[in-house]
Structure 1
């Protein structure tokens, strides 16, 4: 028995252009947070001064993924991102499994970031006032603001994200220019990219943390129904997001290495990881610059949280058309034209998980953020791998798709690159979580179990390719 789209499901609308979508997906990647958190880990525990090469590898792999992803966009009329693409290329059941895995991955990353936000705000306020308030108080206060903005129209969120993103990118550009103009610690050079440095340590660690820094870029397709001209806007936004994020990270990480100096940067990254970004800002931009960065780290995390919230709400909205998800999640607010029920549900989910973490007495960074972020990283790389396989299979089965590079070579290379990246993530997963081997293995298994359960649930629908196409047509016509 099949189940048509729920009659309660409306259609999201909006007028988002390329710039607005790019701002939201780049905000989800939290650039300033990556430079302050991921980069010192890449340098200190990866391949040292050759760490920037990790962003070269990650950008190349994700660009290959993006080619198949965007070339499949005209054939996918539903705003379900990974779920819709996999359903189109591999069938309904694995598509639903992908949707379940996406919900897990984004939710884990979001709740982990609430832990990060709580820790940062608690430390900042304590430094200024000497008053120590538990991290979860700040996390819940932030959640309330996110819930309000997520309930409203998407264009309000895009404006908030745009302001936050421009500010954090702006301060990093100023820092980059200051390092270039002063010549860094020992002059400008390209030694980071020399094979001897790029391969001087476990490059897999650098690639792992580089990939984590891109989480959210693929969510361009989630905003399909709210885009001005999706068949043109989404490909542009995806390419700009990948190249923009990759270039920004690569140049900034390279200049941070030069700012500290080739001889001292590794020691600094290993022994003062938490202050790695703040110290270099203090050196080149002074105390005022350091204070600005402390504020912008907070807005960076906030922007990331809001972007992730919007993505999860829209995944739930897309999946609400089927019997295993409440149809109420597919309702659209009469005034705000937002998936308001789905948004409130996501806020409630994050609230419950955050409260549980607080009641268990978990540390916000080493246990909440690191653990959930690690699970999310495995999930996201697995999602992109399955999506690339779906794109390759779809193009092979579609007579009109005859372009060798776009429809054959790039998707195949993306599958190979992502499988290699997934292996690197799994091999280094224990480092990310900080737990023992047994616990790390159990945690790493969760994304694969969720995908399997979702696929089994989807298989019960017995939906054929023709019926799926009919559903997608109905969705696009609403």
Structure 2
């Protein structure tokens, strides 16, 4: 689930080329390793806290118990907005890519939004079934992604027009003026890594498997992306990788494969690029469904969100996420077709779902999740300050403090470079509106938390504690299951 959310093939094809193109730096491969180090340090306290808290609303429960219930409710709404934004934004790229592929290969022209709506149905069906089914489907897709990227890496190293150069692995390439930008664009590739804790209630042995999955995912993703970015630079040539990435963007990978491995393999990679997007869509959908479930169980949202299917999946949360996706997609369809959003883009009108829906929403979601991780680091310190629980000072204070400062710096860098991330020459309304949505969600959640404290004190006491013995949420779930 974690690696599916990070979408390996999508990151190598799109994220790596975008990083080279926008930063103009050769330090992209080492940037992935640096982010992996920061997140590994973050995971030290995060997974330690997870040994004492098992909750499908991971961020929400951690912050509620570490920094207070109102902040926990605020975090829950930021998480809902961020995960929804990531998931719905990816639909834009999926619909565009599939529509373009079918037209290029079969001459079949079709609206991009048709494929999005069909995909929403498939994702929704998988979402209301047991997580095992989603995991099996995603496991196969992710395995194929890794295989095809490894093939690409091998071919790149074999091509090496300038020799197998280590120019992009020099520390001087990373630690320069573009360091902040490299981290800003690279951190999005890791979004979803924190998701193991979300599945803690469904795991057979969460105290062991959740930390193991978290560390393994960070290590695998970091090393794999760094190696693939380096191989990419070798295949194109270090002196050409920035210029070629600026010229071709994500298509550079497929153009390269067409000329070095044949059209058939390039087409297979394109299909797997689409399945990579599908895997990420399913993973984020599942995360949103479980947040709805956790908040409904504890009364922060209406109780019906906590309803599960006979298979044990949070079907109400899954349906809610599906409805949100449909509403937002329809909004972008109307924006493009009725209000002239696509026409306003001129010659790039055909890229409307990519330049707006995908770019706006995924960058907004990544920003929200980075903010949450910075707050989680503070929550770890607060949680263990109340009771050490036998945890050492490095785990309870030093590691979360270091990672929290680093993540907060990355968040500030995202805010400073948000127009660049949105591809804007000059800031406009969306530059401020999109970050505002994240901050407003947090503020509304905090206010709602205080309202619950004054009006429903018994429910308030259970916020972030829904899986503890005797908790209101646990009793509610038992009633719902008996009703089924």
TM over 0.5: yes
Looking at structure 1, the residues matched to 73 and 186 of structure 2 have their Cα atoms a distance apart, in angstroms, of 28
Cα separation, partners in 2 of 1:138 and 1:467, compared to 1, 3 Å: closer
User: Is this contact kept in 2: 1:33–1:301, CA < 8 A?
Assistant: yes
User: Is this contact kept in 1: 2:2–2:195, CA < 8 A?
Assistant: yes
After superposition, give the CA deviation of every residue in 1:332-387 in whole Å (9 maximum; x if it has no partner).
Answer: 112x2111121111111111111111111151000110011121111010010111
User: Is this contact kept in 2: 1:47–1:201, CA < 8 A?
Assistant: no
User: Is this contact kept in 1: 2:155–2:235, CA < 8 A?
Assistant: no
The farther-off stretch of 113-122 and 389-398 is: 389-398
Q: CA deviation at 1:223?
A: 0.5
* Equivalent residue number for residue 65 of structure 1: 42
User: Is this contact kept in 2: 1:47–1:198, CA < 8 A?
Assistant: no
User: Is this contact kept in 2: 1:87–1:96, CA < 8 A?
Assistant: yes
After superposition, give the CA deviation of every residue in 1:377-430 in whole Å (9 maximum; x if it has no partner).
Answer: 110100101111100111222133441221121111011110111111111111
* Equivalent residue number for residue 138 of structure 2: 161
The farther-off stretch of 112-121 and 389-398 is: 389-398
* Equivalent residue number for residue 264 of structure 1: 240
Cα separation, partners in 2 of 1:283 and 1:33, compared to 1, 3 Å: same
User: Is this contact kept in 1: 2:297–2:466, CA < 8 A?
Assistant: no
Aligned counterpart in structure 2 of residue 302 of structure 1, from 255, 278, 285: 278
- RMSD (CA atoms): 1.8
Looking at structure 2, the residues matched to 288 and 64 of structure 1 have their Cα atoms a distance apart, in angstroms, of 42
Query: 5 Å matches for 1:48-447?
Result: 48-180=25-157, 182=158, 184-199=160-175, 202-334=178-310, 336-361=311-336, 362=341, 363-435=352-424, 436-439=426-429, 440-447=431-438
Q: CA deviation at 1:57?
A: 2.0
Q: CA deviation at 1:179?
A: 3.0
Looking at structure 2, the residues matched to 244 and 374 of structure 1 have their Cα atoms a distance apart, in angstroms, of 23
* Equivalent residue number for residue 347 of structure 2: none
Structure 2 residues without counterparts, runs of 5 or longer: 342-351, 479-484
* Equivalent residue number for residue 443 of structure 2: 452
The farther-off stretch of 75-84 and 201-210 is: 201-210
After superposition, give the CA deviation of every residue in 1:8-41 in whole Å (9 maximum; x if it has no partner).
Answer: xxxxxxxxxxxxxxxx111011111111111111
2:297 match: secondary structure: coil
Q: CA deviation at 1:132?
A: 1.8
Work out the number of aligned pairs and report it.
453
1:383 match: secondary structure: helix
Looking at structure 2, the residues matched to 273 and 170 of structure 1 have their Cα atoms a distance apart, in angstroms, of 22
Q: CA deviation at 1:178?
A: 2.8
User: Is this contact kept in 2: 1:47–1:199, CA < 8 A?
Assistant: no
Q: CA deviation at 1:139?
A: 0.5
Looking at structure 1, the residues matched to 133 and 292 of structure 2 have their Cα atoms a distance apart, in angstroms, of 20
Report the TM-score when normalising by structure 2. 0.90
Q: CA deviation at 1:329?
A: 1.0
User: Is this contact kept in 1: 2:62–2:464, CA < 8 A?
Assistant: no
Query: 5 Å matches for 1:16-27?
Result: 24-27=1-4
Q: CA deviation at 1:116?
A: 0.7
1:393 match: secondary structure: helix
Q: CA deviation at 1:267?
A: 1.0
1:48 match: secondary structure: coil
User: Is this contact kept in 1: 2:71–2:446, CA < 8 A?
Assistant: yes
Looking at structure 2, the residues matched to 160 and 277 of structure 1 have their Cα atoms a distance apart, in angstroms, of 25
* Equivalent residue number for residue 36 of structure 1: 13
User: Is this contact kept in 2: 1:108–1:372, CA < 8 A?
Assistant: yes
User: Is this contact kept in 2: 1:329–1:342, CA < 8 A?
Assistant: yes
User: Is this contact kept in 2: 1:26–1:245, CA < 8 A?
Assistant: yes
Q: CA deviation at 1:53?
A: 2.0
Report the TM-score when normalising by structure 1. 0.91
Q: CA deviation at 1:234?
A: 0.3
After superposition, give the CA deviation of every residue in 1:117-147 in whole Å (9 maximum; x if it has no partner).
Answer: 1100110011022232111111001111111
Cα separation, partners in 2 of 1:323 and 1:198, compared to 1, 3 Å: closer
User: Is this contact kept in 2: 1:77–1:476, CA < 8 A?
Assistant: no
Looking at structure 2, the residues matched to 277 and 175 of structure 1 have their Cα atoms a distance apart, in angstroms, of 8
Looking at structure 2, the residues matched to 243 and 299 of structure 1 have their Cα atoms a distance apart, in angstroms, of 23
Q: CA deviation at 1:291?
A: 1.1
